[in-house]
Each structure stands twice: as structure tokens, then as C-alpha cells.
Chain A
Amino acid sequence: MIEVDSLTKRYGRATAVDGVSFKVEKGEVLGFLGPNGAGKTTTMRILTCYLPPTEGTARVAGYDVFAQPMEVKRRVGYLPETPPLYPDMSVAEYLDFCAKIKGVPAGERRTRVAEAIETCRVGDVRTKLIAKLSKGYRQRVGLAQAILHNPAVLILDEPTAGLDPKQIIETRELIKALAGSHTVVLSTHILPEVSMTCGRVVIINKGRVVAEDTPDNLTRRLKGAGTLRLEVKGDEASVLEAVRSVPGVLVAHARGGHDGVAVIDVEAEAGRDLRSELARAVVTKGHGLVGLQQMGMSLEEIFLHLTTADAEEPAPAA
């Protein structure tokens, strides 16, 4: 549905997006993840024909964003970071205007607006001025605007930013409901959102794709490099010695302790579960094992890991 091939966007000398490629299949929900300023918004703006790419191509629903922008625009619903609302219009007026400019046939306009209002649950504010709406409602009106013309592709730039937890959950449910019938690309820097709503994640940093996989795979792939945390009653030095003697342990270091309990972080070889060996080694040395915990990497850590590791690499010659 969406094919992005070595997309590059430069603003003067600064490169916002640097050779990004990815594909999104029909009905899929793709999460676009990255720190602020990573190039998420720029990529989305190119996909919605708001900005032309400097290099590379992007095809949405089979149409090139550069060569056939009108065809692309007809098939894309876009919710920018700040919902593009007219504060002096009422919700119904605004959606009616949007339906007109999005080419919804006059006969269907009423039903389409009513459906969008229903789907995004903004019925109770339909006659209110947008200026008087809360942030949550504004976001929903923005979303209603994006789905109005029943587009094949939905592009949502941080759809849950600035919402309260209840609204975030509601918005996620809504996105899940829209998936399947629509192809969705959403960007976020909130990680749990990705694991909850997206089938696949593209992590982008400094304009480049640093990882692309399902949220589960990403977690699993890096879980091996996760650490174990031991809490042992006994002398720190001898416990460390015991732990280091276990085959498969890469690094072990003390994290301090309290009340005679030493806390030790152990990094194991990827893919090996050393919990029973470690427990045995500690106990046979005569120490009391108080706690043993697997510190699996959360998406947050993976994210940080990937985005900061990339930052440490020397910058390629321009």
C-alpha cells in the first residue's frame, strides 16, 4: 500500500530524512518511532504530498507522491501533529467543509460526516465552536477529519500526544478498529503505544531507519542482552567471585547494597538463561539468595539502546 524507497529530504544543508525505505502492506498498522526531530513528521509530510522529497520515491496506493499528488491526496487521510482546525467554526461546519474539499460527493456528504462523528465520538459537541473544545475533543475532531472521505491510507502524526490516559486508551481502541479496513501509519514517541496498536515498528533516528520489526521480535531480539539482578546476603567481593565463575557470564558488577545484602547486575551471553546456574553457584558458596530477577529490556530500553548507539557512531562524511 505504501512503498518508500531511499527517501531523502534536505532543508538547505540539514538532512531531515536520510535514505529511508520501508513498506506497509494493506490493512497493516505501522508504528513510526523515534525521538523528537528524528524525521518522522517530515516523512509523513512527504507521504501526504505536503512536502516534495529531495531524493527517492514514495508511492501511496500505487501512485507516486510527486507525479500524481492529487490521486494520493484523495486516498490519504492525514492528522498532523496539531490538528488543523478552524477555531471559529463549529464541529459540524468544519467537518462539512472538510468533506467538500476532500471530494466527498454532495449526496454522501451528510452520511459521511455523521459516520465520522459517530466513529470518533464527537456527537455531543457537534454544534460547539472548536475554540471551546478540550484538547481531547480537538484531537478527535482532527481524526474525524482524517477518516471523512474513507481513505485507504491513514497517516497519523502523534495521535495521542497531549491526551489524558483515558483518552489515550480510547484513541488506541479507535485506531485498532480502523486497522484492517484502512492501512495506518502512526508516529509516536510513546513506546507502549506501539506495542499495543502496531503490527510492525520502524524505529527512526536522525533521519535513518535503525530497526524495523514487530514489537515482539524487537523485544525478543534484544532480550538476550538483558541483565539479571541478584540480591545476595553475604560479602560482596566473594559473591562477585562466585558469580563470575559461572560459565556464560560476561560481566558482573556490584550495584551497592544495604543491610548486608549485595545487589549485583549480571550480563549473560545472548540467548542463555543462567538463572539456575547462578542460584546454585551463590548458594553452594554459602550465601543466602534473596532475589533473582530478569531485567528484560522494555521497548523503552531498546529504543534508547538503538537511538543512542547510533548517535555514538562517527558521523559519515557528507
Chain B
Amino acid sequence: MTALRNVAAIVQKEWRHYFGSPIAWVALFVWTMLFGIFFYFSFSFFLEQSMRIAQQGMEYGGGSIKISLNEYLIRPLFHNMAVVALFLAPMLTMRLFAEEKRQGTIELLATSPLSDWQVVLGKFLAASGLYALMILAGLVNVALIWTYATSRPEWKPVVTGALGLFLLGACFLAMGTFVSTLTRNQIVAGILSFCLFLGMWTLGWADAPTAGPVMKAVAYLGVTTHLEDLVKGVVDLKDVVFYLSVVTFGLFLAHQSVESQRWRA
């Protein structure tokens, strides 16, 4: 009970920092703007394609062929937003611990009856909460389809895609929380986080039809590898477990780092 209250207090405090400074507003602005732009382009392309196919159908007298909204809109949209998350995640995590260290407020947290786990978890949940809010704000675009389309599109890929996007971002945020514990300079934390995220991302590129078992294993560790099924509307437990493991690992590292610094300091 007290543990929960402590975590909630940290979450609330972090949100106060996010929204009291431009960070949250800039992140929300950039995210929703890019979401809107990507949505607009993907949607235009989808309309163009359906128009073209409909015309072809009329010219050649074939039956009406439907093209998949998932294929043309949802999948590219979420893939693009995953790239945006790669860039924005360091912004959300870089100051989490670095700023506390620079300001000396880490001393307040460390001498209050809080456990290191509560602090780490609170900070991570605050960042993921903001990130979830960003995703929800972006989904407003997608909701437009439901409002105006004559036939209801499938909702499942949208939900699982959003879940995949969230889980992918959560991996970044957990790792970013860890990197932020390593330095008192938030710019350094931001740059290091970005490099780390990029590394996590590019592991997936190791996959190729000719790849050997080692490369396959490396590719399996890439964060984007596991997004593929989710944006198609397929929830595979192993993907979810993979993401949750990375999150747990990141938080574990963050906790160890916070604890060990007190021993070394």
C-alpha cells in the first residue's frame, strides 16, 4: 500500500516536471503532427490505390477487388511512428535521473523512506504514461476512419499495432531510464540513449534469408522484429514476452545502477 503510494507520488512528480516544462508539450506536438502527416499520406495513397483498382476493375470487367486498409494504412503508419518513437524516447528519459543528480535532489529521494525500486518504477511508469498518452492522441486520426468510412474496417490490427508500438517504446524508455542513471548530464544521457536505441533497432537487420543460426539469434533480439506480427493484428505471446523481458531487464539495470552508485560514491 505504501509502496504503491510512493510509486504514485513519483509518477505524479515526474508528470509535473514533464508538463511544467516544454518537454511533454514538444513531444506531444511533434508526435501528433508526424502522426497526422503520416496518416494523411498513407491514407491518400490508399485512396489512390483503391481508385486505381476500382477503375481497372471497371475497364476489364473484373469483380470488385478490395485492397486491405491494414496493408496500406495501418502497417506503414505504425512502422513510421516506431521510427519517431526511436527519436523521441531519449527526450522523455534523459533527465529522469541525470537531473536529480545534478540538482542534488537524488539525496532527498535517497534519504526518504522510499526504496530504489519504487523510484525507478515510478520514473519509468511516468515516462510510459506520457508515451501512452502520445499514442492515444495519435489514434484520434485513425478514429476518423470509423467516423466517415461507409464500411467498418477491422479494429483489431489498430489495437494490436498500438500495443506493439507501446511495447516497443516501453523497451526504449526502460533502457533510457537506465542510461539516465549513469551520468549527471542529461545531454550525455540523451545521446547515449539514442545510440543504444539505434543499436537495439539495427539488431533486427541481421535477419536475411541466407542468415545462419547466430545471425538469426541476433535478429531475434532486435526490437523491430517483434513488431511485425503485432501490426498485422496477430498477438503472439512470444513477442509480448520479448518486449516485457527487455523492459524488465532495463529496469533491473537501472535499479542496480542506482544502488551500486551509493556504494561506490
Mark A residues whose CB is within 8 Å of B.
Answer: 11, 45, 48-52, 70, 73-74, 76, 78, 80, 82, 84-89, 93, 97-98, 100-103, 145
Contact = CB atoms under 8 A, between A and B. Distances in A.
B108 interface: yes
B56 interface: no
Contact of B112 (A11, A51, A82, A101): A101
Contact of A89 (B20, B104, B106): B20
B5 interface: yes
B108 A84 contact: yes
B9 A84 contact: no
B2 interface: yes
A89 B107 CA distance: 17
B16 A84 contact: no
B263 interface: yes
Contacts of B9: 97, 100-101
| Size category of the binding interface on chain B | 20 to 34
B6 interface: yes
Nearest to A52: B263
B108 A100 contact: no
A68 to B, nearest CB: 11
Nearest to B118: A101
Most buried by B among A51, A70, A82, A86: A86
B10 A101 contact: yes
Contacts of B262: 50-52
Sorted from nearest, which 9 A-B pairs have the closest CB atoms?
A84-B108, A100-B9, A73-B113, A84-B105, A48-B111, A101-B112, A88-B20, A80-B107, A74-B113
B265 interface: yes
A88 B21 contact: yes
B6 A100 contact: yes
Contact of A51 (B105, B109, B265): B265
Given A82-B104, A86-B105, 20 more contacts: A50-B111, A51-B262, A73-B113, A78-B111, A84-B105, A84-B107, A84-B108, A86-B17, A86-B103, A87-B103, A97-B9, A97-B13, A97-B16, A98-B112, A101-B9, A101-B10, A101-B108, A101-B109, A101-B113, A101-B114
